[in-house]
Amino acid sequence: MIELQHISKVYEVGGQPIYALRDTSENIQSGEYVAIVGPSGSGKSTLLNIIGCLLRPSEGAYLFNGEDVSQFDDQALSHIRQHQIGFIFQSFHLVPRLTALGNVALPMVFAGISSSERQFRAKEALESVGLSDRAHHRPNQLSVGQRQRVVIARAIIMQPSLLLADEPTGNLDTHSGQQIMELLESLNANGLTMLVVTHDPNVARQANRVIVLADGQIAKRVKGEELSAGSMPLF
Amino acid sequence: MLIDLISLAWTALAGHRVRTALSVLGVAVGIAAVVALTALGEGARQYVIQEFTSIGSNLLSVLPGKTETTGTMPGMGGVPNDLTLQDLLALRRNIHAAQYIVPVSMGTETISHGERRRQVAVIGSSPEFLQARELRIAQGQFLPPGDVERGTAVVVLGHMTARELFPGQQPVGQVVRVGEWRMRVIGVLAEIGTQLGVKMDEVVIVPVATGMKMFNRSSLFRILVKVRSPKDLDGACDQVIAILTERHDEEDVTCITQKAVISTFSSILQTLTLVLVAIGAISLTVAGIGVMNVMLVTVSERTEEIGLLRALGATRGQILWVFLIEALMLAGLGGFVGLLVGLGGVHLLTWLYPAVPADPPAWAMVGALGLAMILGGLFGVVPARRAANLDPIMALQRR
């Protein structure tokens, strides 16, 4: 599903090229649950943004479902994000003035889906994350755990094939973090490919595979269960 | 899609009520100013045109004196030769395109009946004055036909004059004093209002020879020539000047056609209207800058949201429209409110001061709304482009 071939991302800082990602290759199969771990500045976010079609690599090819999207223009990339990729953010990024229902329906607005269908599908999605009774609450009237569930409902509303989560439990307490991870795992169990960037070893352990990044390169690939509880792989 | 973007913009605008209201107010003031000022300018123009056309556009006036030679207003001194009743008769004999050729002398006198007295404008003229100025008789008769050089002691009263001198009485047949003169009232004019700035309801009309004697004048105030069709106007003017130049041995009269006066006034007042529009446009520009400012603040405040929308699959073009529509809604709302306020103001003004001519032209109303939208587009496009060109990742990271 995802094929990264010798991907690099270079930024110019003060005339000096800085590699955020260097010659990275990786394949992710459909239905996999992959965790990306690594210290700050190791290139986790850059990798996630490239896979999420928010960022074009400086070098290399990125095949998404067999198509090289690294050369796609803004409109084509937007189309892929809209229909193929769901995003889950650490800080939620909910629109404060919209209700939970409105936030969940937001991606459908830009896809040109009719208002009645939006209502129906958004309600369904909220129900699937267990928030039917909070549909008309605004984000600031919801607990952080509930907010993240709204974000998940929004991420799956367009029925994407890939779910990208950036520190999905980073702002949550242990209990609601666990609930969120159970929700995500159940989505993965239904066939949704999932990529999670995390600092939390307990989250990473649940993944099929763990990719360890260091200094913009993949330093290690391990199986989730190989991680010992409470500790992150060595760098 | 458009409706969705509008409702999305609406939630954003409704979330900042004070800010939204203030920028709407800014646009509204500008639009209201344009509407009200064009209404006044256009009203003035319409008023003047109506005044002139109400007495017929086939009319031309002959004035003693040449504007170019005297440098003062015609008929106000420095007149080389009198415009006499003999001149009038000569014109009547020779100008065949003319329907009526009417003498006018003018002055003010005190008219009294019993204890009631009043200062009025006295017009001395001939029977054809009625047709030439398109007046109507309400009671009795107008000036009797006959030799224009013979002045009889009869008078026709304007509607208002008659009502004030003879409240509840029949004026026709009564005797009034006009200055030193005792005169018999033979008729009363129908109510007509103001013509060319003269309140025709408050005048009295006497035979021209009587009038000239009354004011001790040797010259007529002017001669009115009414031609059958507007295309005869210029020819008649040339003829008048030729005949009178021959009689006076010099060109010492001025001939003014209503058409020329109307077009001069009309173009002056049109310019005035445009100047007023320009003044309104300045306040609109200020309002537009206000809209741009608010939209820039909005874009900057909602950077995170823009990043989110981009991540959710909105294209640059869609983001551009999200903010452009918001600006257009601000401006359009302002335009609508401004139009209502402007029209309301004009109606209030005409209600308080019925004499003020104010008539908001349709083009100004449609134009005002259009202008508001163009304003929103022009001043909204810069913030909207800024929003569209934000880098989604940077935008998302901004908290």
d(CA B166, CA B42): 40
Q: What is the mean pLDDT of chain A?
A: 91
Chain A residue at shortest CA distance from B314: A110
Place of tokens 């998940």: A152
Cα separation values, B145 from A67, B34, B128, B141, B149, Å: 104, 53, 9, 11, 11
pLDDT at B332 over 90: yes
Domain borders along chain A are: 30-59+79-226
d(CA B25, CA B291): 10
> In chain B, what's the furthest Cα-to-Cα distance?
101
pLDDT at B79 over 70: no
Nearest C-alpha neighbor of A131 from the set A115, A143, A119: A143
Contacts of B11 in chain A (CB under 8 A): 97-98, 102
Please give the CATH number for the structural domain made up of A30-59+79-226: 3.40.50.300
Nearest C-alpha neighbor of A71 from the set A80, A79, A62: A62
**Which of B49-63, B80-94, B168-182, B288-302 shows the lowest mean pLDDT across its residues?**
B49-63
- Residue A84: helix, strand or coil by DSSP? helix
Query: A81 and B308 in contact by Cβ < 8 A?
Result: no
Q: Where residue B248 falls among pLDDT bands split at 50, 70, 90?
A: confident
Contacts of B15 in chain A (CB under 8 A): 97
Write the pLDDT tens digit of every residue in A184-223: 999 999 999 999 999 888 888 889 999 999 999 998 898 8
Which of B312, B315, B322 to substitute to test the interface with A, most A CBs within 10 Å? B312
pLDDT at A157 over 70: yes
Write the pLDDT tens digit of every residue in B223-240: 999 888 878 888 888 899
**Which of B70-74, B134-138, B199-203, B392-396 shows the lowest mean pLDDT across its residues?**
B70-74
Cβ pairs bridging A and B (under 8 Å): 64
pTM of the model: 0.73
Per-residue pLDDT averaged across A26-36, rounded? 94
**What's CA B187's distance to the chain center, in Å?**
32
Chain A residue at shortest CA distance from B307: A93
d(CA A61, CA B188): 101
R_g (Cα) of chain B, nearest Å: 32
Nearest C-alpha neighbor of A230 from the set A195, A204, A209: A204
Which of A45, A74, A109 to substitute to test the interface with B, most B CBs within 10 Å? A109
Q: Where residue B197 falls among pLDDT bands split at 50, 70, 90?
A: low
d(CA B98, CA B227): 4
d(CA B123, CA B210): 10
pLDDT of B47: 79
Write the pLDDT tens digit of every residue in B115-147: 888 999 999 999 999 888 888 899 899 999 888
Beta bridge partners, B181, equal B178
d(CA A108, CA A15): 42
Query: B315 and A75 in contact by Cβ < 8 A?
Result: yes
Contacts of B310 in chain A (CB under 8 A): 54, 78, 81
Residues 6+ apart with CB under 8 A from A75: B315, B316, B317
d(CA B368, CA B376): 12
Beta bridge partners, A28, equal A2
pLDDT at B70 over 60: no
pLDDT of B183: 93
Query: A82 and B313 in contact by Cβ < 8 A?
Result: yes
Contacts of A140 in chain B (CB under 8 A): none
| CA–CA min distance A229, chain B (Å) | 31
Chain B residue at shortest CA distance from A46: B393
d(CA A35, CA A47): 12
- Residue A219: helix, strand or coil by DSSP? strand
pLDDT at B72 over 90: no
| CA–CA min distance A54, chain B (Å) | 7
Per-residue pLDDT averaged across A13-30, rounded? 92
Is residue B139 within 8 A of residue B246, CB to CB? The reply is no
Place of tokens 């008539």: B359
More confident residue, B95 or A32: A32
Query: A82 and B393 in contact by Cβ < 8 A?
Result: no
pLDDT at B63 over 90: no
Per-residue pLDDT averaged across B170-194, rounded? 89
Query: B313 and A83 in contact by Cβ < 8 A?
Result: yes
Per-residue pLDDT averaged across A134-149, rounded? 95
Q: Where residue A103 falls among pLDDT bands split at 50, 70, 90?
A: very high
Quick one: tokens of A131?
Answer: 């928030």
Burial environment of residue A56 by CB neighbours within 10 A (0 to 12, 13 to 18, 19 or more): middle
Chain A residue at shortest CA distance from B13: A97
**Which of A159-173, B211-225, B254-268 shows the lowest mean pLDDT across its residues?**
B254-268
Contacts of B311 in chain A (CB under 8 A): 52, 54, 81, 87, 93
Task: Name the DSSP class of A232.
Answer: P
> Which among A54, A97, A106 is the nearest to B12, CB-wise?
A97
Nearest C-alpha neighbor of B128 from the set B69, B208, B66, B54: B208
Is residue A62 within 8 A of residue A70, CB to CB? The reply is yes
Is residue B126 within 8 A of residue B103, CB to CB? The reply is yes
pLDDT of B56: 63
R_g (Cα) of chain A, nearest Å: 18
Beta bridge partners, B225, equal B60, B101
DSSP letters along B290-328, please? HHHHHHHHHHHHTHHHHHHHHHTT--HHHHHHHHHHHHH
Per-residue pLDDT averaged across B204-210, rounded? 93
Angle between helices A115-128 and A100-110 (to 10 degrees): 130
**Which of A12-26, A97-111, B61-75 shows the lowest mean pLDDT across its residues?**
B61-75
pLDDT at A176 over 60: yes
DSSP letters along A102-160, please? HHHHHHHHHTT--HHHHHHHHHHHHHHTT-GGGTT--GGGS-HHHHHHHHHHHHHTT--
Nearest C-alpha neighbor of A30 from the set A151, A156, A208, A157: A208
**Which of A122-136, B219-233, B298-312, B350-364 shows the lowest mean pLDDT across its residues?**
B350-364
> Which among A49, A78, A158 is the nearest to B315, CB-wise?
A78
Per-residue pLDDT averaged across B164-192, rounded? 90
Per-residue pLDDT averaged across B279-296, rounded? 90
pLDDT at A66 over 80: yes
Q: Where residue B69 falls among pLDDT bands split at 50, 70, 90?
A: very low
pLDDT at B33 over 70: yes
**B71 phi-psi bin (left φ>0, alpha ψ -120 to 50, beta other):** left
- Residue B106: helix, strand or coil by DSSP? strand
| CA–CA min distance A143, chain B (Å) | 19
| CA–CA min distance A117, chain B (Å) | 13
